[in-house]
Amino acid sequence: MDAETAHRAGEMTMRAPLVWSAASIGNHANAPELRTDIAGLTLPTPLGMAAGFDKECRVIRSLLSMGFGFATAGTVTLAPRPGNPPPRVIRQPERFAILNALGFPGPGLDLAEERIARMRKAKSRMFISIAGTIEDEIIECHRRLQPHGAAIELNISSPNTSGLRVFHEPGRLRSLIEALARQKSVPLFVKLQPWPRDDGRRRDAIRLAETSISSGADGLIVANTHPVEHEGLSSMHRGGLSGAPLTDHTARMVAEIKAAIGGDGDVIACGGIFTAEDLWHMLSLGASAAQLYTAFIYEGPGLPGRINRGLLRLMRRAGVTNVRDIRGLPPV
Ligand SMILES: Cc1cc2nc3c(=O)[nH]c(=O)nc-3n(C[C@H](O)[C@H](O)[C@H](O)COP(=O)(O)O)c2cc1C
């Protein structure tokens, strides 16, 4: 079975939220030690499902039942989009990675809004990811979707949609975020593109992070998939890498962003998080929460519960009573 068919089959089984809510016992998502605050939101655990898993905006309740503290719907775009032609997802199980060049297939704003509005019970823990290539599209998605979610993620960083890069120009990003901030009623996060060690792009990324916060965003998601080339991908042989090869980069970028923005905004770590130790590490570097996607594909629906349980065990061993107080290396 190819990767997309496997994803669709998995997603179908998750469309029955009651089944998963019965399975929620033992996911440790209600342990008081794991409760955390981010941008004024209180979440039961700092572990979330990243954008792109529930592009169709149908399975947020099931994800929450599995033990995620929050979960992201979308990325939603104004018009429905077929995405790039297949093959556009390649699994690399030998290194726990995925390459994707999906390019935002999705139902479009009207249908996404209808489905998201129906998931009312998940509202306080649902993030909604939006994107577009011109300001008006994004402003419209933001205006119509924010009443239905706990927070909005602005995706300016998918490597598979070249038009998003216009918002890597700080002046253009600033005016977009200022426009969103004027109509904002829930926290706004900006999802950054990753940056390599020690070169000009690092400075550019940090500048975008600072611009986002100073123009009204509440936090940053660090980061999206890493741009790579692979001849098995249809769309110009280019796509985004996710999973285990990203873990160390994510830690480095979280530390760099935290050093740049200090207490002015919250950071959500995203990229290569597989274990409770990974989560501990990101929190100890200053992230307020973390998101994962690829680990869930390899480890399955028991993963969020296992990470919650593992984090609790580490905290108890270290004598830490709240995730916000996690510092240093995890206890061995
Ligand atoms: C198949 C696939 C589709 C994705 N689609 C989106 C998307 O629509 N929007 C987005 O912001 N990120 C998307 N991502 C990126 C993830 O949200 C996340 O940033 C990235 O995969 C790194 O986290 P991970 O290593 O835990 O997977 C996608 C990732 C994958 C693997």
Compute the average pLDDT of residues 274-285: 98
Distance 147 CA to ligand 1 centre (A): 24
Q: Which pLDDT does position 92 carry in this prediction?
A: 94
Distance 167 CA to ligand 1 centre (A): 19
Q: For 301, phi and psi rounded to 5 degrees?
A: -65, -15
- Ligand 1 atom closest to the CA of 100, numbered from 1: 1
Q: Which pLDDT does position 10 carry in this prediction?
A: 77
Which residues are CB-contacts of 19 (< 8 A; sequence separation ≥ 6)? 62
Which of 163, 229, 226 lies closest to 197, judged by CA? Answer: 226
Compute the average pLDDT of residues 165-194: 95
Q: Which residues line ligand 1 (CB under 6 A)?
A: 50-52, 55, 75, 89, 98, 100, 102, 104, 129, 155, 158, 191, 224-225, 242-243, 246, 270-273, 292-295
Higher pLDDT, 197 or 267: 267
Domain-wise residue ranges, the chain: 3-325
Distance 214 CA to ligand 1 centre (A): 26
Backbone Cα Rg of the chain: 18
Catalytic residue of the set 158, 215, 235, 242: 158
Which of 253, 173, 263 lies closest to 206, judged by CA? Answer: 253
Neighbours of 319 (CB within 10 A): 8
Q: What is the pTM of this model?
A: 0.96
Neighbours of 1 (CB within 10 A): 8
Q: Which pLDDT does position 22 carry in this prediction?
A: 65
Select from 130, 152, 225, 297 the residue to mutate for testing ligand 1; criterion: most ligand atoms less than 8 Å from CB: 225
Q: Which pLDDT does position 5 carry in this prediction?
A: 80
Question: What kind of architecture, by CATH, is found in domain 3-325?
Answer: Alpha-Beta Barrel (3.20)
Q: What angle do CA 127, 56, 192 make, to 5 degrees?
A: 45
Distance 88 CA to ligand 1 centre (A): 13
Distance 153 CA to ligand 1 centre (A): 13
Q: How confident is the model at residue 289 (pLDDT cuts 50, 70, 90)?
A: very high
Which of 24, 38, 32, 72 lies closest to 52, judged by CA? Answer: 72
Q: Which pLDDT does position 23 carry in this prediction?
A: 66
Is there a catalytic annotation at residue 158?
yes
Higher pLDDT, 26 or 185: 185
CA-nearest residue, atom 1 of ligand 1: 100
123 within 8 A of 11, measured Cβ to Cβ: no
Reported as a single tens digit per residue, the pLDDT across 94-136 is 999 999 998 888 999 999 999 999 999 999 999 999 999 999 9
Select from 98, 226, 242 the residue to mutate for testing ligand 1; criterion: most ligand atoms less than 8 Å from CB: 242
Task: Find where tokens 């503290």 sit.
Answer: 69
Q: Which pLDDT does position 25 carry in this prediction?
A: 66
Higher pLDDT, 325 or 23: 325
Compute the average pLDDT of residues 300-327: 96
Compute the average pLDDT of residues 206-221: 97
- Ligand 1 atom closest to the CA of 97, numbered from 1: 25
Contacts for 167-175 with beta carbons within 8 Å, 24 or more apart? Answer: 168/193, 168/204, 168/208, 170/207, 170/208, 170/211, 173/208, 173/211, 173/212, 173/215, 174/211, 174/214, 174/215, 175/135
Compute the average pLDDT of residues 151-179: 89
